[in-house]
Chains A and B, each alone.
Chain A
Amino acid sequence: MAALTSRRRLPRLGKASPIRPRYLPTLLVLPAFVVLLAITIFPLLFTATLTVLSWELTTNAPARFVALGNFATVLFEDSRFWNAMRNTAVLVVVGVGLQVILGTGLALLVNRVRRGRTLIVSLLLIPVMIAPVVAGFQFRMIYNDQSGPLNYLIGLLTGGLWHGTAWLADPSVALISILLADVWQWTPFMILIVLAGLQAIPEEIHEAALVDGATPRQQATHITLPLIVPVIVIGILVRMMDTFKLFDIVYQLTAGGPGSTTETIAYYTYLQGFKYFSLGYTAAMAFIQLAVITIVARVFLGYQKRTQNRGSL
């Protein structure tokens, strides 16, 4: 079904080509360029100017120039910001880690299925295609401590010794509950792309190894693993970037609570901007997030460039 990226180098109409049109290349790209420029560069510049202002829409006080004051406050005085950063880091490291481990394991299993694989993959992929807010709603029902199926199941399995807890209201587990909902939604994504990596390994390599007397274990560690690692890395990078922006599920499940125990950085920024209307402060936080995500994005883009230039991962 799948083949790992193998892009033939295509002859392109170079500058010298007599059939290269003069204006068409620019005209084709222009509309997209203008739209993206207007809607990304404008917010960027606007946000940049906001960062140096103290501008509270909730009061009638005029905007005040504070230079780098907003950044200083965010980074050195706002423990709620660091709390949100830590929560986000837990979701990125532990959550994405779980998705990778579970996803790779399940992909290896599904890869061995001979009949009905398409159906299994289709069914496994349903969580990925669901709106995160709806996924959040599903878990609201499942985690419900009165009539939810999770606590009922726990009661059954422990023979009535433990009846679970209030998964979303208990500060010690609320973040884990969010993490599990996210793992539920995105593990299938990892299954899917690891599976694509596995199926791109040509059968002949395994046959050749078999002829040379390689044991199954040797085949796994010397053939399968090295060949799927690049795909897994791409999966990790995509998931890291998305998890860093995690908002919908938090909004739906806990609204950052209890207290601020489950606030992610995206959710806290939303609160500052759209509940407290601290424009300058929000802009400063937005810029810090931009800086963090740029680092991950650069690695991802580097991978993409390598794919582009070498013809394969």
Chain B
Amino acid sequence: MSGVRRVVPGALIMIALLFFLFPVVWMVLTSFKTQTEYFANPPLFLPHSFDLKNYVNALAFPPDGRGGLQGLRDSLIIAIGSTAASVVIGSLAAYGFARFRTGGENLSFWVLSTRMFPPVASALPLFLLFRQIHLLDTHMALIIANTVFNLPFVIWLMKGFFEDLPMDLEEAALIDGCSHFGALRRIVLPLVTPGLVATGLFSFIFSWNEFMFALLLTRNEVRTLTVIVPSLVGGHEILWGEVAAVGTIAIIPGIVLATVLQRYLVRGLTLGAVKS
């Protein structure tokens, strides 16, 4: 009886791991397969060899003329740009909310509520606005769109991190003649760095994975990896190997950060509603 008790949960967890990892593993394996291998019936689990032909093809000679490396570059520029902007603007506001209750509870909750806004509802006005000011199909368009959608997230997460810090240290600094800004820079920021890094990495991933705005606000000049993947699948001849290679590159940051961020994941994914 006790043997069964111990074996069954373990087996169930193994099945769960298999279920949640299989699609990812299958894509990674496909990225190494040749055309005959990924069209094989019955399906072939392991590729014959792990050469990087699909990666080279997808990055250097994209099937549709633009892709691969350009997508990697565009995704990076946009994710880094919007992360920097939202972390700087957001942490300042978060500090204001946490320490001075600027605007009272209503203002900070209004900020949070903007996060719930359905993106598809703001896509059309943004599209028309950006068309008017000639921002369509630029990095800036997506940096702005992603910054706005990440701001409420950054503010709420950072607000929680600031509130976790005891006030005594800042007060001591103030009494010793430090200015408020000096106290923020010399005392608070160093202490809150882990939270700041976690928040930044989260917004990086959100922008990196973002798809709808990238699809609607850019076209030829700028194409993120998330836009390239479905654009390659849409055609009549699907180059599974190459798409899988692009997809594999696209999921690397997420997987790395899931490991690094594990301590903060609960907090991050619930907008600070549940803390770990």
Contacts and interface: CB of A to CB of B under 8 A. Distances in A.
Contacts of B215: 251
Chain A interface category by residue count: 35 or more
Interface string A14-26: 0000011100111
Given A42-B125, A124-B20, A134-B250, A29 B243 contact: no
A241 B116 contact: yes
Given A12-B99, A40-B148, A138 B26 contact: yes
Given A12-B101, A19-B174, A21-B180, A28 B116 contact: no
B274 A193 contact: yes
Interface residues of B, number: 103
Contact of B117 (A28, A124, A290): A290
B3 interface: no
Interface string A107-130: 001101100001011111111111
Interface stretch (A62-70, A207-215, A279-287): A279-287
Q: Which of B96, B117, B209, B273 has the most CB of A within 10 A?
A: B273
A140 interface: yes
A241 to B, nearest CB: 6
A140 B233 contact: yes
Interface string A130-144: 111111111111100
Interface string B109-143: 10111101111111111111100000000000000
Interface in B224-250: 225-226, 229-230, 233, 240, 243-244, 247, 250
Interface string B9-39: 1001100110111111011001000000011
B266 A273 contact: no
A305 interface: yes
A158 interface: no
Interface stretch (A72-80, A89-97, A218-226, A242-250): A242-250
A290 B124 CA distance: 14
Label chain A's interface by main secondary structure: helix
Contacts of A10: 163, 166-167
A121 B263 CA distance: 11
Nearest to B144: A39
A181 to B, nearest CB: 8
B269 A128 contact: yes
Given A131-B226, A286-B124, A301-B113, A147 B39 contact: yes
Given A28-B95, A35-B148, A293-B118, A137 B255 contact: no
Contacts of A301: 109, 112-113
Contact of B21 (A28, A123, A289): A123
5 contacts: A25-B100, A43-B122, A129-B257, A187-B20, A247-B120
Interface of B: 9, 12-13, 16-17, 19-24, 26-27, 30, 38-43, 89-90, 92-93, 95-97, 99-103, 105, 107, 109, 111-114, 116-129, 144-145, 147-148, 151-152, 155, 163, 166-167, 171, 174, 180-181, 205, 208-212, 215-216, 225-226, 229-230, 233, 240, 243-244, 247, 250-251, 254-255, 257-259, 262-263, 265-266, 269-276
The 10 closest A-B pairs by CB, nearest first: A28-B96, A129-B254, A25-B100, A286-B121, A43-B125, A32-B93, A131-B209, A2-B276, A297-B116, A138-B23
Given A19-B171, A184-B20, A234-B273, 15 more contacts: A5-B274, A6-B275, A35-B89, A40-B117, A122-B262, A123-B21, A131-B250, A132-B209, A184-B23, A188-B20, A279-B124, A290-B118, A294-B116, A303-B273, A308-B105
